[in-house]
Chains A and B, each alone.
Chain A
Amino acid sequence: MSTELTMTLEVFRYHPETDHEPRFQAYEVPYDEDWVVLDALNWIKDHVDGSLTHRWSCRMGVCGSCGMMVNGDPKLTCAVFLKDYYPRPIKVEPLVNFPVERDLVVSLDGFMDKLEAVKPYIIRDDVNDTSGGEYLQSPAELAQYKQYSMCINCMLCYAACPVAGHEDEFLGPAALALGHRYNKDSRDQGQAERLDVMLVGEAIWGCTFVGECTVVCPKHVDPAGAIQQAKAVGAQEFFKRFVAPKGAGV
């Protein structure tokens, strides 16, 4: 055991019922080049300190549960290897721009509210009418929105976005990209409803196209691009009012 290689994890700890303020705790963990940061956290919880609290589920970059700040960058901890940092210590913190509930676990409430607000599901007038069979879609129509549908709601984009950190009205990258995803879906009829939410106040206009959301996305979604496209739709709708006023039947 003494010859086994180890490395240090500096982990953010905060238990609101006992701690007045957050602190960092250093743990020596076995170094294995096949291990990801999540493996090291699970090893700490299983062998050293059962009170360490973190979220995780699939271990394969699909569920979006294990997002944390790793040396200051928002990452899925199941997808960052210890070998990329060894022998330097790794600092693990909860995602920034979210309230901390306990240790590495953040509150999802604000994010879920924003996600729900954009109605991320297909809206149809004829939802219960199946007489016409399934809604057919061509590959070209699928390509219009497919990349935006790859979002796993891991919230790394919110931790990367400077606007999401200081503007509550801003719906944020993932929610806006998902709203845009359904607006671009040929089977959907809910664009007007969604735009009524997206084009209000700073909901979408808070975005200043920093682009970090797209940089950190582990699923290669381009939320920054989606937001710019949605803004362009919003601008078209704005000018359309003067060309075809409501009720003109155009």
Chain B
Amino acid sequence: MKRSDEAFWWALFSAGGVMAALFVPAFVLVTGFLLPAGGDGAVAAERTTQFAAAVGWWPVKLALLGVLALSFVHCGHRIRHTLMDLGLRRYSGLLKVPCYGGALAATVWAALLLWRV
């Protein structure tokens, strides 16, 4: 019998798990708490401007897109397997369309947003 292509999706899921667990919380910490914290509003605004300038640099954009894309696939894969566990196992192939398609759509959206920064 032919080996399953699930290895491909699992590899992306696995990589996305590292991104979602390691980098996403770090981004939330930096952008949500550390940038606005301390000093008066002007200092925070200055820091935010500097951060936005860094995000404007294309290697940073690319790295951010990588983190986001893999996190989206991770999310889509987990949702697909949850739906399979909830009784949709026989549609495991069909579920790839909305789950990984959704991850792709979210990645394109993120790319457009990053393009505009």
Query: Which A positions have Cβ atoms within 8 angstroms of B?
Result: 162-163, 166-167, 195-196, 199-203, 205, 208, 231-232, 234-235, 237-239
Contacts and interface: CB of A to CB of B under 8 A. Distances in A.
A237 B5 CA distance: 11
B96 interface: no
Contacts of B8: 235, 238
B93 to A, nearest CB: 11
A119 to B, nearest CB: 15
B3 A166 contact: no
Contacts of B6: 205
Interface of B: 1-8, 10-11, 14, 81, 85, 89
Q: Which 3 A-B pairs have the closest CB atoms?
A: A238-B7, A235-B11, A205-B6
A208 to B, nearest CB: 5
A199 B89 contact: no
Interface centre among B5, B6, B8 (most CB of A within 10 A): B6
B10 A199 contact: no
Contacts of A163: 85
A167 B89 contact: yes
A67 to B, nearest CB: 24
A239 B10 CA distance: 12
Given A205-B10, A231-B10, A232-B14, A238 B3 contact: yes
B3 A208 contact: no
Contacts of A202: 4
B85 A200 contact: no
With a 10 A CB-CB cut-off, give which of B1, B3, B8, B89 has the most chain A CB atoms: B3
Contacts of B1: 196, 200-201
Contacts of B10: 205, 231, 234-235
A166 B81 CA distance: 13
B81 A208 contact: yes
A166 B11 CA distance: 24
Nearest to B2: A200
A202 B85 CA distance: 12
B7 A234 contact: yes
24 contacts: A163-B85, A166-B89, A196-B1, A199-B3, A199-B4, A199-B7, A200-B1, A200-B4, A201-B1, A205-B4, A205-B10, A208-B85, A231-B7, A232-B14, A234-B3, A234-B7, A235-B7, A235-B8, A237-B7, A238-B3, A238-B5, A238-B7, A238-B8, A239-B11
